[in-house]
Amino acid sequence: MKKGNFETCCESCQLYWVCETKWFRGEKGEERVCCKLCNFYPDCQIESVLNKVRLKKKLEATQP
């Protein structure tokens, strides 16, 4: 399995199909973000931060 995107709960999560947190959020119309129950949570969180840093550096590089 591969890690997913920190901003969304992914099918790679071992609890994806039975996760009460994900279903509760869905019923309430809330975002279904990766949560600490997922084994990939730390990896997804690190990747998300790195993506934000990369994007920020790219934007700063294009500004005069």
User: pTM for this structure?
Assistant: 0.58
Instruction: Tell me how far apart the alpha carbons of residues 25 and 47 are, in angstroms, rounded to a whole number.
Output: 23
Residue 30: pLDDT band by 50, 70, 90 thresholds? confident
Max Cα separation, the chain?
50
Instruction: Tell me how far apart the alpha carbons of residues 19 and 38 are, in angstroms, rounded to a whole number.
Output: 10
Q: Domain residue spans in the chain?
A: 1-64
What is the token pair recorded at 28?
Answer: 């309430």
Task: Quote the DSSP letter at residue 30.
Answer: -
Q: Is the pLDDT of residue 64 over 80?
A: no
What is the token pair recorded at 59?
Answer: 């934007």
pLDDT at 1: 44
